[in-house]
Structure formats: C-alpha cells, structure tokens
Structure 1
Amino acid sequence: MLNDLSVFLLAAGMMQAALLSVFLLLPSNIIQVSNRLLVIVLLTLAAGFGELFLYGSGVSFLHPNYAYIGTLISLLQPPAIYLYTRSLMYRHFRIRPAHAVHLIPFATGLIVFFTLYVPLSDSAKITLLQQQDLPGMPVSLPLALAYHGVFLGWLGYSLRRLRSFNSDIQHLYSDIARQQMLWLRFLLSSYSGLWIVSIICCLFFYLFRLTDKTSWVLPVVSIAGFSFINTLLVCALRQPAAFMGLTQADEILLENIQPVKAPQLRGAEQVDKVAEFMHRNQPFLDSTLSLSQLAHQLKLSPHDLSAIINNGFQQNFFTFISEYRIEHAKKLLAMPEDKRTILDIMYSSGFNSKSVFNTAFKKQTGLTPSEYRRQYL
C-alpha cells in the first residue's frame, strides 16, 4: 500500500501533468507541434502515475478491468518522446502518416490486453494482480522485458538522433551552446538510466520471486517520477525561447555537407581567400555568426564555403571559427594593460558561453584562460 509521501508525489505528478496539458492545449500554444507532442508525453506520464496510485491504494483490486490501462497508455510515451525530440531539432517538423509506424507497440499492447487479459474472470484478474511482483509491470517476464524494450529502444534512438544533431549543428553555427539542447540529452539519458535500473530490478524480482521485498518500489518510483516530470516541465517551458530548431534551408544544406572539391578556384587559392578575409574583417567577433552569414559576406554559397572549410582547413565550421576567437582572446589576455575581466574578453572575442569558451581554450592551448593570463602578468 501507499504511504503518505507516495500518495502526495503521485497525486502531485498527475495534477502537474494535467494542468500543464491544459495550458499547452490553449489556442496560442497548441499551434506548435512540439507542444502537442509534449501534451501526449505528459498525459501518458499521468496515466502511469494513476495506475500506480490505483494499485497502491487497492482500487485496482476492486476494479481489475482497468488495472493495466495506465501501462497500455504509457506505450504511447516512448514514440511521443522521440517525435518531441525531432520537433525541437527541426523547425518545420510535422506529423506525417509515415509516423504511424510508431504506434506499433501500442497496437500490440491493445491486442495482448484484449486477447489475454480482458477475457479473464474478475477473480482470475485479481489473482494475477496479487501475483504481481512489481507495481505497474506485467506479471509475465517476457511481457515485462518487451515493455522495457519499447522504452529503452525509443529512448536510445532519440539519444542517437540527438547526438547526430549536435554534430550537425557544428557545421552550421559558431555559437552552439543554445542549439545543443544539453538539457534534453541529460533528461533522456537520466530517464534511460531509470529504465535500465528498472529492467535489472525486474529480472531480479521475477527470477527470485521476492514478492515480500518490493515495499520500497512505489516510494522510489514516486520520487523518481515526480523529479522527472518537474525537470521536464522546467526545461521544456524554457526551451522555445532558446532555440526554435533548424530551418528547412539548414536541413537541405546538411544533406550535402560532406566534403567535396572546392569550386571555381584551385583549393589552395580558396583557402587563402577565406583566411585573408577572416584576418582582415574579423567576422568571428560576431557571436551569432553562422555558415550562411559568412558565406554571404564572402560571396560564396554556404555549400561551397562548407566544402572549403572541410577540405582546406580540415575542420567543421564551429571549430574553424572557435580557433580564430581563441587566438583573438589570447592576444587580449597577453596584454597586461588590458584590465578587463576574462568574462569580458570572452564576450569581446565572440563567445557567448563560458563553458564553451573554457573548453575550446583548454583544448587549443592546454591551459585555462586564467593560467594563460598569469604567464603575462
């Protein structure tokens, strides 16, 4: 049964998910695809919390026909998380008929539910619930493993696409701190970790049938679920103001981003042309500089400039610009008469993120900005 803490956390989690869903369904918010998908994620979380609440309070034993509804609905959650991730990465992302393939786990769950569970008598269903080792998990080990596999599979694929996205944006932007969506990677990684722990617990309890050792499960799941949903709410609500995703033009450019021969002039001449422009005009001091903007200044196409940087400089756009910014910062840090703080110098050199600046500086010089400056004092 539930203790007071579990009751509060599960009820609070359901209430938060429901209230935010209502907020996101307002006409001014629902127009965004990412908000619609977030509503699905929140409602599936609420359904999962509800099933745990009903099981822990004993209501499931009074109405066994509805005992696994939350588990069934939650099969929509992993695909919704994946599509939500895609909607944040790409500004013009839309739900298409092809995405119906993501409903396969839910459809399979419906078939299992209506063919194996619904036909049972109420007494048989109650007996099944009493044999349940872990709340919210199917009694059958194969079904429990398949259930975990759905979550881990879609979460893993979401993380893989996110890593690929973070690599792609380095070909397009010089300021990647906002575009990287590190909060989402952290959230997905943490959630995946919870499911890995869950599948280990499932194997342990199912194999050893430790039904009298599971009293801690509901409180722990309640705390983890409450923490996850609050982190999701804070991060998701902040995200739209930070980055709206890649444009269609960015996507088209990325499709042809692989190194190719530099156009028109010989490769060395093109490299010299770009290097001379960088030293003379210092466009890297613009913290928002993108590949398209620099290409416009050089009177080149973004595709051609990308090929020159990749072939001639053997770098992606982000690293290419960062090196010029670091060299500029090094000159300022080496001037004893310059009394500006390191943070001011960072901004003056074109960086917007302290962590990105420190990482790039350390990688290029082997020293932190403070250590480098002390050499010239």
Structure 2
Amino acid sequence: MDKVNLIVTVAVITMFISLFLAVFLITVKTEHKLSNRLFALFLILTAIDISGILFDFLNENPSNIGMFRNLITFFQLPTFYLYVLSVCYSDFKLKPKHLIHIVPFLIANLILLPRFYAVNQASKTSFLEKSSSMIEIQFNHIFIHIQIVFYIIVVFMILKKAKNIYLENYTGASIKSLNWLFQFALALSLFYSLALLKNIFKFSTYTNFSEWLKIGLFLFELFIISWYLFKALNNPNLFRNIDSKLKLVNEYISEEKKNKTLNTNEKEFNSELLKLKKYMIEEKPYLNPSLTIQDISNATEIPVRDLSLLINHKLNRHFYDFVNSYRIENAMAILKDNAKSKVTILEILYEVGFNSKSSFNTAFKKHTNTTPTAYRKSLQINNL
C-alpha cells in the first residue's frame, strides 16, 4: 500500500468512527443533551476537516467549497471549549454572547473574498500555486495557530478551576471524570502541536516528512476518537457537573479583604467548628456518596460561604479531603472490628460513603500511608 492509499484509508476509518460516535451522542437518551450535542458537533467538524484528503483526491481544481471546508477548522476548538464548559458547569447554556466564537472563522473567510472567492477558476489556481507567498494564506496560517494556543490555554484554566471548586464543595467520583477530561484535552494539545510541526515542515524543504507526519496525525486522531468512544460507551454518566455560581475560597477571601470584612472572630470560628464536628460525628452525613457542602450548610444552618471559608481556609483542607477523612476513620474502625473480619474491602468502601475502589484506595493511602488491604493484614499480625 503506497503513502496516498494509506492516508486515504486511515482518513476514511477516522471519519466513519467520528460520525458514528456523533450519531450515538445525538441519539442516546441522557440528561447531558447539550454536552453530547456540542461534542457531536466537534466530531462532525473533525470529520469535515479529515475529509480534506478525500476532497483534494477527488477534485483537482480549487473551489470556493474546498476553501470554505478548509477553514471549518476555525470552528473546532471553540466548539470543544463550549463542550468543556457544558461538562464542567451544570447550569451552562448557549447564549447570544457565544456567537463571538465564530468571529475568527468570518475574518478568515472575509480576507480571502477579494483574491480567491470572488475570482475565476484560473485566478484561484494561480493564487494557490503562490500560496506560500500570499499574505492572506500566511495570515490565516498564523491566525489559526494563535487561536489553537488561546483555546487550549483557556480550556486548561477552566478545568483547573472546576477541579478546585469541586474539591472545595463536593465529594464523589467526579474528580476522576475531571482528570479524564484533562487527559483528553492534553491529548488534543499534543495533536495540535504535531499538526503545527507538520505545517512547519510543509513550508520547508522537508515536505516528505510533512506527509509522514500527516499519516501519524490521522492515526493519532483515530486513537483519540476511539478512546473517547470506548469511554462514552462504558461510562454513559461519566461526568457530574458543578454549579457555576460557586466560587473558589481565594475569591471569597479577596472579596472580603477588598471590603475589609474578613472574619477574624476566633470565638465565632470555634463555635462553628464545634457545631460542624458534632454534626459530622453524630449524624454521619459522609455516608452519603454524593454529599455536597450545600447539604451540610442546610443541615447545620452555617452559610455555604462561611462553611467553605471554615473548611477550605481556616482548616486548610479541601472539603473533598475533609469529608473523606471521616469516611476513612469509619473504615478503619470497621477494619479493627474483629466481628467484621469477614466483610470485604469492597463492602466497606460502599458502607462508609465511597462509590469507587480507586477513590477509596487513594484516600485511604493519603490518610494512613498504606492501603486498606495492607492495613487489615497489619492488624491481623498484631492480634496474633
């Protein structure tokens, strides 16, 4: 199989899987409809972008449709950015202000209007033959890479903030899904970095190397999409959103310092802390795997803002770790109980409020510097 046939074969397979997953995401019944539709759109745009190799193979002459198709890539990362927002925040909705993300696409097309879109076939051919020296092509080439860098940075900033907000206000398995989304964004970043490298070689004397990089990019893109397909099919409820109205503790502190209202009343702090600890010990709310800071606020009548400052700032612990510490203490008590020696680790983790073995093992090791199994074995040895 020669290089051209290999590229076409990989492109067709990648397009098929992209469109298959897009149809699956649009038709599957789920509460995350907006997220699914945005990612489906991202996959459709990806398929259109990949189709360029087939379009060029079947159409030798340049055309307006072909150029328009090439510039569809300006939509890809803005769509992925909106998808990340919809995954992270439960109250995310598309608004008129989001139309600003189509501006780069419009600019890229408008600058090509005088010397490409509005001219005859011969002029189009001449324009593309001199593409490396055409200012419009050079501008769009630089413009798309600036856009890529911008959106990748913004996506990572959103994910970092969402993870911190989650740790300060929620418990459960969502942190695992946020970590996975971070990995997916990292894979896309690597893909676009390789694409940039390919384009650098494309306009150099090493055009052959650029072609091999193109094959590698198609294979990598196929891997990324297949990876997502595997995750989507095996974890239909992978993501749990957070409330966009929630703020980071640092933002609360900054606001209070600015307004000079930062609470320094040690007596009030101790009173709220005692109230919180009494509630955690007596009521054991941590047994709820989906416990949120709002739930504790409602039960203790301590405002969410004050509760967040108390745990995340005063105690210098994430709410996520604060709740897990009670779960681990409960798990350790069960492991020490000889009457419950037959209870499995899996049964214990569900009993104390965890909903996954990996999150339980991670929290247990963080709290005790050992695994649950090793801890149980050490108790058994000491009891001999």
The alignment's TM-score, normalised by the length of structure 2, stands at 0.82
- Give the 3 Å change call, closer, same or farther, for CA 333–244 of structure 1 in structure 2: closer
Determine the C-alpha separation between the residues in 2 that align with 1:305 and 1:188. 33
- Give the 3 Å change call, closer, same or farther, for CA 188–172 of structure 1 in structure 2: same
What is the deviation of 1:24? Answer: 5.3
Determine the C-alpha separation between the residues in 2 that align with 1:354 and 1:44. 37
Unpaired runs of at least 5, structure 1: none
Matched, 1:362 2:358: no
Matched, 1:342 2:345: yes
Match of 1:102 in 2: 101
Three-state SS of the structure 1 residue aligned to 2:237 is helix
- Give the 3 Å change call, closer, same or farther, for CA 315–330 of structure 1 in structure 2: same
Match of 1:252 in 2: 245
Match of 1:372 among 358, 370, 375: 375
What is the deviation of 1:284? Answer: 1.3
Match of 2:258 in 1: none
Q: Conserved in 2, the CA contact under 8 Å of 1:21 and 1:42?
A: yes
The aligned amino acid for 2:244 is: E
What is the deviation of 1:321? Answer: 0.4
Match of 2:76 in 1: 77
TM-superposition CA deviations, 1:211-243 (whole Å, max 9, x none): 233342342222122222333344456666344
TM-superposition CA deviations, 1:52-79 (whole Å, max 9, x none): 2223x2x342344444333201111111
Three-state SS of the structure 2 residue aligned to 1:364 is helix
The aligned amino acid for 2:379 is: Y
Match of 2:55 in 1: 54
Match of 2:312 in 1: 310
Matched, 1:144 2:141: yes
Alignment of 1:1-377 (within 5 A): 3-22=4-23, 32-55=33-56, 57=57, 59-118=58-117, 122=121, 125-126=124-125, 143-177=140-174, 180-206=177-203, 208-236=204-232, 241-246=237-242, 250-254=243-247, 258=252, 261=263, 266-335=268-337, 338-377=341-380
- Give the 3 Å change call, closer, same or farther, for CA 221–251 of structure 1 in structure 2: closer
The aligned amino acid for 1:326 is: I
Three-state SS of the structure 1 residue aligned to 2:252 is coil
Determine the C-alpha separation between the residues in 2 that align with 1:332 and 1:27. 41
Identical-pair percentage: 25
The aligned amino acid for 1:282 is: K
- Segment drifting more, 311-320 vs 227-236: 227-236
The aligned amino acid for 2:292 is: S
TM-superposition CA deviations, 1:287-314 (whole Å, max 9, x none): 2221122222223333332233234422
What is the deviation of 1:38? Answer: 2.4
What is the deviation of 1:262? Answer: 8.5
Three-state SS of the structure 2 residue aligned to 1:266 is helix
Three-state SS of the structure 2 residue aligned to 1:375 is helix
Provide the aligned C-alpha RMSD in A.
Answer: 3.4
- Give the 3 Å change call, closer, same or farther, for CA 108–361 of structure 1 in structure 2: same
TM-superposition CA deviations, 1:179-228 (whole Å, max 9, x none): 7433322111101111112223333453x421233342342222122222
- Give the 3 Å change call, closer, same or farther, for CA 11–180 of structure 1 in structure 2: closer
Determine the C-alpha separation between the residues in 2 that align with 1:183 and 1:31. 17
Determine the C-alpha separation between the residues in 2 that align with 1:224 and 1:327. 45
Determine the C-alpha separation between the residues in 2 that align with 1:295 and 1:73. 47
Q: Conserved in 1, the CA contact under 8 Å of 2:10 and 2:219?
A: yes
What is the deviation of 1:255? Answer: 6.9
Unpaired runs of at least 5, structure 2: 254-261
What is the deviation of 1:14? Answer: 2.5
Match of 2:259 in 1: none
Q: Conserved in 2, the CA contact under 8 Å of 1:38 and 1:80?
A: yes
The aligned amino acid for 2:86 is: S
What is the deviation of 1:83? Answer: 0.6
Three-state SS of the structure 1 residue aligned to 2:244 is helix
